[in-house]
Amino acid sequence: MSLQNVNVLLGVTGGIAAYKAPDLVRKLTGLGANVRVVLSPSSAAFVTPLSLQAVSGNIVHQHLLDPEAEAGMGHIELARWADVLLIAPATAHCIAKLAHGMADDLLTTLVLATPAPVFIAPAMNQQMWAAQATQANLKTINERGVTCFGPASGEQACGDIGYGRMLETVEIAQLLDEALASRSLLVTETQDAAETQDSESGLLAGKHIVITAGPTREAIDPVRYISNHSSGKMGYSLAIQALALGAQVTLVSGPVDIPAPIGCTVIQVQSAVDMHTAVMHAVQHSCDIFIACAAVADYRVADIANQKIKKDNDEMTLTLVKNPDILADVAALSNPPFTLGFAAETHDVERYARGKLTRKKLNMIAANDVSQPGIGFNQSDNALTVFTADTQIVLPQQDKLALAKQLLTIMAHNVSKH
């Protein structure tokens, strides 16, 4: 675990998502972290210091000029203690203060005083998130090395729907865990262990990887479409982990409610034809690896209605035509990249996966049984069986982010033999 014995200083600011802070502390300590909490002046309106002290096992810090604190662990010592500083939730006001280097309370003072890396998990109204000032402030702190986790999209406390929700606590903890691993922040017991981690963090260095993710939408008329249950979580997890392993990543994404991973090029598409066009353009520009993780519709409507179809009849017949096979077309290029496909099946998983591997002339395929409850489409967990022409590796059920790292590690070793 990358968070084992890591000192995490958790800053909590005054947004409604602050009520999730005790659960976030539990998630971090569950991964082995030592957690101390700092509350902004307004955050205590949403979460009590006592609840955070109970779950962290440490006194909660609130005031910059606290005589008792300065007599013991003063704010400078607290800044030195931290291996990492995480602010969750981070309000628009907090982000603005970070961008302008303000230090008018304990938390913002610690941001300036600590040499530790800083991470934020934003939470705010969707319009505040989209505001030019907020986006400019985010750009500023990102350029200074602050890493942003999220936000997610969905229904907000005010009733609005859109980006601005804080990520779930389990996602924040997992992302922090993986980010620390990629930054090689772990204190290892031996130099050999440190060298091993450095090697893993650069496992895909110098490689350009094109990844597809999410579903496609095949229009019926201006308001209706055919799609599937793909959430895009597996593809986005692969993009995050590929970046952590040193790769240059181009993510071709269907419509999903996941924020784009910072550091990769994202191409948003809707239909299978759109995705085919984007992928064929991307892979022919110095692409080393192509990962086809998207759940691409096999068929599209032959004639899309220009106007909304009315319910004038009891039945409606649609004529469907086959969509282009993106993965097969990439593998058939005269100088194809290393190709990794996915096979989401409901029965005879190995037979269909091996058939797809051979028929499309792929280098590797990752198969899963989407009929199993709790894994696959629109789930946080997955389980895969990875096939090459002469190998088979089973990756048991686990969080998709952790699973993505295992899959990419297997792939990287096969790429080196390719």
Residues catalogued as catalytic: 158
Number of other CB atoms surrounding residue 389 within 10 Å: 10
Is the bond leading into 151 cis (omega within 30 degrees of zero)?
Answer: yes
Instruction: Kindly list the distances between the CA atom of residue 251 and the CA atoms of 111, 248, 266, 286, in Å, as whole numbers in the listed order.
Output: 32, 10, 5, 15
Q: Could you tell me how many residues make up the chain?
A: 418
Rg of the chain over Cα atoms, rounded to whole angstroms, equals 24
Q: At what angle do helices 400-417 and 233-244 cross, to 10 degrees?
A: 60
Residues 6+ apart with CB under 8 A from 227: 215, 216, 217, 218, 297
Q: Measured between alpha carbons, how far is 298 from 3 in angstroms, rounded to an integer?
A: 42
Q: Measured between alpha carbons, how far is 252 from 275 in angstroms, rounded to an integer?
A: 7
Q: At what angle do helices 169-182 and 400-417 cross, to 10 degrees?
A: 30
Q: Measured between alpha carbons, how far is 398 from 417 in angstroms, rounded to an integer?
A: 27
- What is the residue type of 99? A
Q: Measured between alpha carbons, how far is 346 from 357 in angstroms, rounded to an integer?
A: 17
Where are the alpha helices (H) located in 100-149, listed in sequence order? 106-113, 126-130, 132-143
Q: Measured between alpha carbons, how far is 222 from 366 in angstroms, rounded to an integer?
A: 35
